[in-house]
Structure 1
């Protein structure tokens, strides 16, 4: 787009020429300025939408992180409870094994006593049970 100028002669007829801006050049400048303003406004709105999307994304990520942390806390608590239960069962199992070893030792001792006395080792012939109570009163 070229600038257009017109040559006007003075009314006095001196022959001097004056360069003047045409109306279309001024209109072009106004149009360019309007387009710049519209583009600036559009860019600002677009940047605002972009910031809003970014903020929403950050909020979503923060909420997701909070959910994951809560899940981690629940899992850590469940693991802690399971570990405590495991240790309690393991302790109880150890106690029961010790009791079983002691009872097996007692049973072997009783079997040795019975064998050394020459008494019939048939369990049905003995009226006593393992824990000392009578089976057949």
Structure 2
């Protein structure tokens, strides 16, 4: 074989290798480009999901605050109703018992409508005075 034939084979191999390398580099660039596109799509997707979650958390936090306020109101109402029930039980015990109501029982009553004998009258109003006890009976 002549040196010229050998050089042609070497040149042919070099050309094939160059073409193969260029094709490999092109595939690598395309793969890298696709990978970057996928990463950007993921960034967009997760950013959108994060924003949705933030909005959802804010909504839940507002709902929670409303529930907390309602819970406070209901607890306050519960305490008031428990006091009223306790007072009613004492009154029932008094009515069914000996008729003696201790001052300790009266001290637990906080509502003015349950203690009419202690209600303050406006200073400029004049209260009528009943002169007789006719029509009234005492148990």
TM-score past 0.5 threshold: yes
Q: How far apart, CA to CA, are the structure 2 residues paired with 1:89 and 1:102?
A: 20
Cross-structure match for 1:53: 31
Q: How far apart, CA to CA, are the structure 1 residues paired with 2:11 and 2:89?
A: 114
Cross-structure match for 1:94: 72
User: If the length of structure 2 is used for normalisation, what is the TM-score?
Assistant: 0.58
**Count of matched residue positions in the alignment of Structure 1 and Structure 2:** 97
> After the TM superposition, which residues 50-89 of structure 1 pair with which residues of structure 2 at under 5 Å, given as runs?
50-89=28-67
Cross-structure match for 1:123: none
Q: How far apart, CA to CA, are the structure 1 residues paired with 2:9 and 2:78?
A: 101
Runs of 4 or more above 3 Å deviation:
110-116
User: Deviations along 1:50-72, whole A, 9 cap, x unmatched?
Assistant: 11011101211221232122222
Cross-structure match for 2:107: none
1:27 aligns with 2:8: no
Larger strand proportion, structure 1 or 2?
1
Larger helix proportion, structure 1 or 2?
2
How far apart are 1:95 and its partner, in Å? 0.6
Structure 2 gaps of 5+ residues are: 98-139
Q: How far apart, CA to CA, are the structure 1 residues paired with 2:87 and 2:61?
A: 39
Bigger radius of gyration among the two? 1
